[in-house]
Amino acid sequence: MAVVFDEKKALFTLYTKNSMYQMKKDDLGVLLHTYYGRKTENTDYSYLIYCKDRGFAANPYDAEKNRTYSTEILPQEYSCFGTGDYRTSALRIRGAGGCRVLDLRYENCEILEGKYTIPGMPAVYAQEGDSAKTLVVTLKDKAEDIFVHLYYGVMENLDMITRAVRIENRTAQPVYLEKAASMCLDQIYGSYDWMTFYGKHEMERQLSRTPVHHGLQSVGSVRGASSHHYNPFVILADHRTGETQGECYGFSLLYSGNFLAEAELDQANQTRVVMGIHPDNFDFELKAGDDFWTPEAAMVYSCGGFEKMSQIYHYAYRNNLCRGKYKKARRPVLMNNWEGTYFDFTGDKLVEMAKEAAALGVELFVMDDGWFGKRDDDFSGLGDWYVNEKKLGCTLGKLSERIHGLGLKFGIWFEPECVSEDSDLYREHPDWAFQIPGRKPVRGRYQLVLDFSRQDVRDHVFAQMCEVLDHAEIDYLKWDFNRNITDIFSAALPAHRQGEICHRYVLGLYDFLEKLINRYPNILLEGCSGGGGRFDAGMLYYSPQIWCSDDTDAIERLKIQYGTSFAYPISAVGSHVSASPNHQTGRKTPIATRATVAMAGTFGYELDPMKLSEEEKTEIREQIRVYKGYYDLIQDGKYYRITDPYRDEAFTVWEFAAEDGSEALVSAVSVKTYPNAAPVYVKLRGLLEDKFYVMNGERYLGAALMYGGFRLPAFRGEYQSWNFHFVLEK
Ligand code: GLA
Cα-to-centroid distance, 303 and ligand 1 (Å) = 40
Check whether 530 has a pLDDT greater than 90.
yes
pTM: 0.98
Distances (CA, A) of 322 to 250, 297, 456, 543, 633: 19, 16, 28, 7, 19
Beta carbon of 414 within 6 Å of any ligand 1 atom: no
690 is catalytic: no
Does residue 601 have its Cβ closer than 6 Å to ligand 1?
no
Q: Ligand 1: does its nearest atom lie under 6 Å from the Cβ of 528?
A: yes
467 given a catalytic annotation: no
Q: Is 482 in the pocket of ligand 1 (CB under 6 A)?
A: yes
Average pLDDT over residues 514-537: 98
pLDDT (tens digit per residue) in 294-325: 999 999 999 999 999 999 999 999 999 999 99
How far is the centre of ligand 1, averaged over its atoms, from the C-alpha of 249 (Å)?
34
Q: Cα-flanking dihedrals φ and ψ of residue 351, to 5°?
A: -65, -40
- Count CB neighbours of 380 within 10 A: 18
DSSP labels, 312-350: HHHHHHHHHT--SHHHHSPPPPEEE-HHHHTT---HHHH
DSSP single-letter state for residue 380? B
| Cα(191) to centroid(ligand 1), Å | 42
Q: For ligand 1, pick from 227, 337, 344, 482 the residue to mutate: most ligand atoms within 8 Å of CB.
A: 482
Kindly list the distances between the CA atom of residue 600 and the CA atoms of 251, 331, 665, 689, in Å, as whole numbers in the listed order.
Answer: 24, 13, 11, 25
Identify the helix (H) or strand (E) that includes residue 617: helix 614-636
- Determine whether the shortest distance from the Cβ of 529 to ligand 1 is under 6 A: no
Residue from 204, 342, 369 whose mutation best tests the ligand 1 pocket (most atoms within 8 A of CB): 369
Q: What are the pLDDT digits (tens) for 353-388? A: 999 999 999 999 999 999 999 999 999 999 999 999
pLDDT band per the 50, 70, 90 thresholds, residue 54: confident
> Strand, coil or helix: what is 359?
helix
> How remote is the C-alpha of 17 from its chain's centroid?
23
Query: Out of 536, 550, 606, 636, which one is annotated catalytic?
Result: 536
Instruction: Answer yes or no: is the C-beta of 547 below 6 A from any ligand 1 atom.
Output: yes
How far apart CA 456 and CA 453 sit, in angstroms, is: 9
Q: What is the pLDDT of residue 716?
A: 87
Which 8-state DSSP code applies to residue 382?
A: T
What's the 100 CA to ligand 1 centre distance in angstroms?
Answer: 44
- What's the CA gap between 598 and 508, in Å, rounded? 33
- Residue pLDDT, tens place only, 406-462: 999 999 999 999 999 999 999 999 999 999 999 999 999 999 999 999 999 999 999
